[in-house]
């Protein structure tokens, strides 16, 4: 139980003031409703955010978003900005699943078209998309192929016939971040990454067939191609697989070993970090960027196989089915961006750990298609409840370094879920809600039971009410594939 009790500033905003006696350099701001905050107080979420506020070069405040929960070093659902010149970069502030992200594909099908073929469709998708722990992708990559993936990201996939340039145009960074360097990747990470490209993985990763349940912002929804309730969409949630995990492990070790060299004293070793401008900081960034590109390429290939599965089941082409990518958002990422701090624009390294960018209209970083309305944001919930499409708004720049929540956030550990539920119970709960699921393992179903997650509606609502990112539409699952 946390001994730190945040002070309420206003509805849905709480603060722990900077306390120099604890080594805090900036305050901690928590965006949550009362119930979400109470949950955070039952684990180390707030304490971890306070720990982050002691890192050299941290600026303005450390943010905990409404899906916040305990993580490795940094809380998941945490955002921190470090001075790009004098501040740090921290592998734990990005996390193990580098560029775990979510992409949404629209179709012109309605629920009534899909229901009769739902089991066939889920089975076809399950068969054609590799999933599970250590699962192998469907392509064999040579060492030079892997280098290309790490540098080119989505562009590699598109040039090999997996999708089109239109897909790249609606990804953060167009699915290819510059300055990735394969030479900064360890042989172990390469060995883990080469066989896994084009696979979903396990844990909270999934592919969902969803129907549009509610539309809140008709204009934004229309721009995204969401035209009416009952329309079918596909949500893909996965990341950089064992490759990103290994990159994080490798550079946590590098950072720990470099602490004495830079005379960095930390309150928690899990916060291991190095100066952003140091050789170690540069190397980690180039390796992390390679993992970002790997993840974008991975999601792109899964998108391609998803379209092919739909083609086979509905006997129509992907263009007949209008299966366009709406957008792809990244979580678990650190990038240099310009933000206003104390009234002046500064270059900062924004760490988004279990957080997603939510830039407002007019920002050059947003794909041209959405620049006049703002960036689409997706908040996936549990496989039994639903997901939200939101739209980045100006308040995000002042309140959260242009960021919002990345999901519902766990309420319950995986082991607690295994103790509390059986596979049959979970299957029945989903089936009663009209949801058909296929999973590789019993654990995959039980650990991801809807009860293990926070209320995604509450999480989206906090973002909406604060004007960080506002509600566009709610999607509910009808078919789920789990690793």
Residues pairing with 347 in the sheet: 338
Mean pLDDT lowest among 45-54, 148-157, 196-205, 342-351: 196-205
Q: Is 394 labelled a binding residue?
A: no
In a domain? residue 379: yes
% of the chain surpassing 70 pLDDT:
99
> For the chain, first and last CA: distance in Å?
33
Question: In b/e form, how buried is each residue of 31-50, taking b as 16+ CB within 10 angstroms?
Answer: bbbeebbebbbebbbbbbbb
User: What pLDDT sits at residue 411?
Assistant: 86
Taking residues 258-283, what's their average pLDDT?
A: 97
Q: What's the number of domains the chain is made of?
A: 2
Please count the CA atoms within 13 angstroms of the CA of 23 that sit on its side-chain side. 15
pLDDT in tens, 16-62: 999 999 999 999 999 999 999 999 999 999 999 999 999 999 999 99
User: What pLDDT sits at residue 483?
Assistant: 74
Q: Is 206 labelled a binding residue?
A: yes
Q: CA torsion sign, 298 to 301 to 306 to 309?
A: negative
Q: Is 464 labelled a binding residue?
A: no
Q: Is 298 labelled a binding residue?
A: no
The answer to whether residues 397 and 253 belong to one domain is yes
Last residue of a domain, one of 325, 356, 387: 356
Last residue of a domain, one of 324, 356, 388: 356
User: What pLDDT sits at residue 135?
Assistant: 80
Taking residues 72-98, what's their average pLDDT?
A: 97
Q: Is 153 labelled a binding residue?
A: no
The answer to whether residues 240 and 201 belong to one domain is yes
Q: Return the DSSP state at 195.
A: T
Check 61, 69, 351, 406 and give the catalytic one.
406
The answer to whether residues 367 and 443 belong to one domain is yes
CB distance 390 to 469 below 8 Å = yes
The answer to whether residues 130 and 223 belong to one domain is yes
The answer to whether residues 89 and 122 belong to one domain is no
In a domain? residue 381: yes
pLDDT reading at 442 higher than 90: no
pLDDT reading at 77 higher than 90: yes
Strands (E), 257-364: 274-275, 325-330, 333-341, 344-353, 355-357
Q: Is 237 labelled a binding residue?
A: yes
In a domain? residue 125: yes
> Is-catalytic flag, 406?
yes
Burial class (CB in 10 A: 0-12, 13-18, 19+), 187: exposed
User: What pLDDT sits at residue 482?
Assistant: 85
The answer to whether residues 43 and 151 belong to one domain is no
User: What pLDDT sits at residue 162?
Assistant: 96
| CATH code of residue 402 | 3.90.1860.10
Taking residues 233-254, what's their average pLDDT?
A: 97
Non-local (6+) Cβ contacts of 15 within 8 A are 6, 7, 9, 27, 28, 29, 30, 61
Return the H-helix or E-strand segment holding 424: helix 423-432
The answer to whether residues 21 and 148 belong to one domain is no
pLDDT in tens, 127-151: 999 877 778 877 889 999 999 999 9
pLDDT reading at 1 higher than 80: no
The answer to whether residues 74 and 213 belong to one domain is no
Q: Is 382 labelled a binding residue?
A: yes
User: What pLDDT sits at residue 121?
Assistant: 98
Q: Is 408 labelled a binding residue?
A: yes
In a domain? residue 396: yes
* Domain that includes residue 433, residue range: 101-335+362-482
Both tokens of residue 66? Answer: 């409404």
pLDDT in tens, 377-432: 999 998 888 999 999 999 999 999 999 999 998 888 889 999 999 999 999 999 99
In a domain? residue 317: yes
In a domain? residue 71: yes
The answer to whether residues 319 and 446 belong to one domain is yes
Q: For residue 3, what pLDDT band results from cuts at 50, 70 and 90?
A: low
In a domain? residue 1: no
User: What pLDDT sits at residue 409?
Assistant: 83
In a domain? residue 118: yes
pLDDT reading at 217 higher than 70: yes
pLDDT reading at 367 higher than 70: yes
The answer to whether residues 387 and 439 belong to one domain is yes
Q: Is 409 labelled a binding residue?
A: yes
Q: Is 97 labelled a binding residue?
A: yes
- Dihedrals phi, psi of 269, to nearest 5 degrees: -60, -25
Last residue of a domain, one of 321, 356, 391: 356
Q: Is 208 labelled a binding residue?
A: yes
The answer to whether residues 266 and 130 belong to one domain is yes
pLDDT reading at 228 higher than 60: yes
pLDDT reading at 294 higher than 70: yes
The answer to whether residues 166 and 63 belong to one domain is no
């Amino acid at each position: 139980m946390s001994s730190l009790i945040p002070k309420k500033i206003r509805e849905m905003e709480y603060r722990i003031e900077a306390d120099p006696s604890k080594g805090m350099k900036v305050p901690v701001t928590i965006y949550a409703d009362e119930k979400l905050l109470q949950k955070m107080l039952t684990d180390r979420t707030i304490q971890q955010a306070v720990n982050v506020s002691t890192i050299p070069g941290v600026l303005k405040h450390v943010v905990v978003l409404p899906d916040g929960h305990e993580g490795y070093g940094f809380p998941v659902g945490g955002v921190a900005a470090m001075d790009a010149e004098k501040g740090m970069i921290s592998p734990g502030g990005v996390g193990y699943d580098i560029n775990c992200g979510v992409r949404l594909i629209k179709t012109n099908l309605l629920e009534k078209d899909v229901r009769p073929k739902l089991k066939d469709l889920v089975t076809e998708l399950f068969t054609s998309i590799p999933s599970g722990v250590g699962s192998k992708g469907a392509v064999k990559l040579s060492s030079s192929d892997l280098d290309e993936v790490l540098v080119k990201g989505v562009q590699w996939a598109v040039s090999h016939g997996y999708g089109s340039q239109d897909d790249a145009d609606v990804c953060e960074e167009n699915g290819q971040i510059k300055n990735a360097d394969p030479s900064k990747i360890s042989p172990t990470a390469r060995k883990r990454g080469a066989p896994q490209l084009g696979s979903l993985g396990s844990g909270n990763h999934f592919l969902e067939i969803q129907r549009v349940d509610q539309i809140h912002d008709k204009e934004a929804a229309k721009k995204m191609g969401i035209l009416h309730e009952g329309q079918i969409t596909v949500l893909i949630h996965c990341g950089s697989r064992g490759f990103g995990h290994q990159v994080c492990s490798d550079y946590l070790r590098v950072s720990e070993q470099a602490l004495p060299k830079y005379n960095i004293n930390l309150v928690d070793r899990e916060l291991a970090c190095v100066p952003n401008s140091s050789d170690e900081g540069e190397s980690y960034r180039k390796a992390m960027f390679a993992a970002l590109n790997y993840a974008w390429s991975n999601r792109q290939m899964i998108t391609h196989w998803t379209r092919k599965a739909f083609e086979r089941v509905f006997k129509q082409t992907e263009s007949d089915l209008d299966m366009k990518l709406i957008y792809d958002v990244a979580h678990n990422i650190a990038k240099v961006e310009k933000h206003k701090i104390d009234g002046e624009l500064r270059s900062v390294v924004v760490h988004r750990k279990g957080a997603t960018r939510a830039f407002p209209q007019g920002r050059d970083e947003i794909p041209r298609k959405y620049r006049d309305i703002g960036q689409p944001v997706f908040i996936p919930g549990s496989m039994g409840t639903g997901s939200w499409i939101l739209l980045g708004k100006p308040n995000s720049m002042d309140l959260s370094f242009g960021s919002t929540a990345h999901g519902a956030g766990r309420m319950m550990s995986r082991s607690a879920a295994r103790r509390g539920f059986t596979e049959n119970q979970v299957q029945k709960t989903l089936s009663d809600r009209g949801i058909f699921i296929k999973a590789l393992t019993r654990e995959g179903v039980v650990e991801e039971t809807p009860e293990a997650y926070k209320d995604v509606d509450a999480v989206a609502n906090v973002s909406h009410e604060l004007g960080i990112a506002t509600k566009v539409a709610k999607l509910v699952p009808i078919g789920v594939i789990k690793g």
